[in-house]
Chain A
């Protein structure tokens, strides 16, 4: 691994840089599910005994910062994908807490030069501290030609 990336990993990986509280509004999660084309009633009917937010809903929740305040810039950034992991359902009507950290930093080198990938993860917890889900945002920065 390149020495500069190794140094950035050592400085930033797995350190929380943001914390935010989100109220999960049932009116929003049901409309979210409807627009996605969900048909399962547990996502659409607030009276359903297993009512919950659509699994991807957490990906729409963003913290106050996408990266740590002094995180280096390698080039122009682009969205490289999103991922979610679900451990327990997110129940609308209650607040959850999201904590952000840099989960991974790696590079790929092609004909046009080096690209730096950064994975920012938000971990979501309920009021009892149960880990509900993770939402990863991958960005890629293409380095400017020297």
Chain B
């Protein structure tokens, strides 16, 4: 169900699971776009030499996935804030999924709070965050 107004949102409802494109090609393209240097974003072997399990997805791209997920679920949503904790690296070319759950609704202000979690295919949490969005009343 696509969300159009705050009246469509129920406390505790889960957002549709989002599968972000965490391919190395996308991570590299993103790092190039924002002018982030570092072999860790571009090459698995080079990243391993830096102590990672493989090439990693830039943290900001992970934050971008969270917001894209919200807009897929609620296209008119205006993001008020997003707070993200990078608990462990998101390894490029591994499969990941993002889940979200509505944890608060403020109908008076038109605001909704959502907890979001990025997990890998071993069900390990890599990134988690909280977003506050504003929806039409």
Q: Find chain A residues with CB under 8 A from B64 CB.
A: 32-33, 35-38, 54, 56
CB neighbours (8 Å) of A56 from chain B are: 60, 63-64, 67, 82
A6 at the interface (CB under 8 A from B): no
B4 to chain A, nearest CB (A): 13
Interface residues of A, dominant DSSP: mixed
Instruction: Please tell me if the beta carbons of A39 and B72 are within 8 angstroms of each other in the complex.
Output: yes
A83 proximal to B (CB < 8 A): yes
B81 and A60 contact, CB distance less than 8 A:
no
CB of B33 within 8 A of CB of A37, answer no
Looking across the interface, which residue of chain B has its beta carbon closest to that of A82?
Answer: B84
Q: Across the interface, which residues of B come within 8 angstroms of A54, CB to CB?
A: 64, 67-68
Binary flags per residue of B46-71, CB closer than 8 Å to A gives 1, else 0: 00000000000001110111011101
Chain A minimum-CB-distance residue to B18: A37
Q: Given the interface contacts A83-B84, A84-B81, does A28 sit within 8 Å of B67 by beta carbon? A: no
Select one of B26, B60, B71, B82 contacting A60, CB under 8 A. Answer: B60
Residue of A nearest to B30 (CB): A35
CB closest residue in chain B, given A36: B64
Q: Chain A contacts of B67 at CB under 8 A? A: 36, 38, 54-56
Residue A85 lies at the interface, judged by CB distance under 8 Å to chain B: yes
Does chain A have a CB within 8 A of B124?
A: no
Provide the bound-state CA to CA distance between A85 and B81, in Å. Answer: 4
Residues of chain B within 8 A of A83, CB atoms compared: 81-84
Question: Chain A nearest CB: distance from B39 CB in Å?
Answer: 17
- Whether the Cβ atoms of B61 and A35 lie closer than 8 Å is yes
Q: How far is the CB of B42 from chain A (nearest CB, A)?
A: 15
Seen from chain B, the residues whose Cβ lies within 8 Å of a Cβ on chain A are 18, 20-21, 26, 29-30, 33-34, 59-61, 63-65, 67-69, 71-72, 75, 78-86
Listed A/B pairs (23) with beta-carbon separation below 8 Å: A32-B33, A32-B64, A33-B68, A35-B21, A35-B26, A35-B30, A36-B64, A36-B65, A38-B67, A38-B71, A39-B75, A43-B71, A54-B64, A54-B67, A55-B67, A55-B79, A56-B67, A80-B86, A81-B83, A82-B86, A84-B79, A84-B82, A85-B80
